[in-house]
Structure 1
Amino acid sequence: MTQQAVTPVVRNVDPRHRYEILVAGERAGLTAYRDRGEQRVFFHTEIDDAYAGQGLASVLVEEALTDVRAAGKRIVPVCPYVAKFLKKHEEFADITDEVTPEIRQWLDAALAR
């Protein structure tokens, strides 16, 4: 019997302010955000160790950013992984805003709840 590859699924869990990537129904990772007006500020991305090295972070972030575009929002890449991804994927440059000290200060306050 051959094992079939499982296609990962990305979903936006808006009440928890994150996108999750699922593999065979199990959460394999997430990218967290907060919304600031029309900006979606991404501040953290992680993939569980059990799923490392499978390219899931790239799939997760690409689908999350595609969803941001579809929602008519803009991207602010505070998360180092999202920032690195955007340098390689210029197709999102038109909806990407620079990370400023004001945004970092706002994010710190938003996460201090």
Structure 2
Amino acid sequence: MTTDKTGAPTTVTAGTDRFTIAVDGQRVGLVAFVDHNGQRIFLHTEVDDAYEGRGLAGILVSEALAATRDAGLRIVAVCPMVAGYLDKHHDFDDVLDPLTADVKRFLQTVQNG
């Protein structure tokens, strides 16, 4: 079990379009994604303001990226939080794909659809 900077236990749960993080059983954050052509495109990360500064976004992103690699998917970071994490943690470089024009077109169809 992973704990945040205060020592509180955290739980990361995978869903169909997001990973969520809970502290003491209360959901306090998420990272949203969409899967497309063998890639998991990370769109947005948020953590409840009351829980900022506890390292929760880093825990959430790390576990989401590890689960993505374990699922055999490649990573595309649209979300600035995920991109920033990947800039500092190069252990996912082997499964990282750039944000291409094709991915951007796909995202436009998803957002407009």
Q: TM-score, normalised by structure 1?
A: 0.91
Corresponding residue number in structure 2 for 1:10: 12
Q: Map 1:25-64 onto structure 2 (within 5 A).
A: 25-64=25-64
Corresponding residue number in structure 1 for 2:111: 111
Percent sequence identity over aligned pairs:
44
CA offsets, 1:39-89, max 9 Å, x none? 000010011111111110000000000000110100000111101100111
1:77 aligns with 2:77: yes
Larger strand percent: 2
State how far apart, in whole Å, the 2-side matches of 1:81 and 1:5 are: 23
State how far apart, in whole Å, the 2-side matches of 1:112 and 1:47 are: 26
Corresponding residue number in structure 2 for 1:66: 66
- Number of residue pairs matched by the alignment: 108
Structure 1 stretches of at least 4 aligned residues deviating more than 3 Å after TM superposition: none
Q: List gaps (5 residues or longer) in structure 2.
A: 1-5
**1:107 Cα deviation from its structure 2 partner:** 1.0
CA offsets, 1:9-67, max 9 Å, x none? 001111xx000000111111000000002100001001111111111000000000000
Q: List gaps (5 residues or longer) in structure 1.
A: none
Letter in 2 for 1:7: P
State how far apart, in whole Å, the 2-side matches of 1:8 and 1:70 are: 20
Corresponding residue number in structure 1 for 2:22: 22
Q: CA RMSD for the aligned pairs?
A: 1.2
Corresponding residue number in structure 2 for 1:98: 98
Q: TM-score, normalised by structure 2?
A: 0.91
State how far apart, in whole Å, the 1-side matches of 2:91 and 2:12 are: 20
